Amino acid sequence: MTPQHLHHVLIAPELIVVDLVESALIALERALCVEHPLLDAPPPTQHPPVRRHARDVLRRVDRLRMSLRAYRRVVHDILREADQHDSPF
């Protein structure tokens, strides 16, 4: 860990949790795809309830992942701006 990275973690410790949550979402997505390999198949007349719910979870995972990335970008922009103000140059 670089001194700058440590400084960022001290200022915005939530980024550690954001990274952990994103990793957990990737694991969840992979587990659901392994358990339900037909999730991407065109829906027959009636999907089993568990597959419908798994598909819904995956849609929400995508939305949450996009929100987490947007949050991370904003925090990084703020940290970068703060670093520039602290720089003697």
Name, in order, each residue with C-beta under 8 angstroms of 44's C-beta and a sequence gap of 6 or more: none
Q: 9 near 16, Cβ under 8 Å? A: yes
The predicted-structure confidence for 6-22, as pLDDT tens digits, reads as follows: 888 888 999 999 999 99
The predicted-structure confidence for 43-69, as pLDDT tens digits, reads as follows: 666 778 898 899 999 999 999 999 999
Domain ranges of the chain: 3-86
Between CA 23 and CA 64 the distance in angstroms is: 12
The number of angstroms, rounded, from the C-alpha of 12 to the middle of its chain's C-alpha atoms is: 16
Q: 68 near 18, Cβ under 8 Å? A: yes
The number of angstroms, rounded, from the C-alpha of 7 to the middle of its chain's C-alpha atoms is: 22
pTM over 0.85: no
Helices (H), 12-48: 14-35
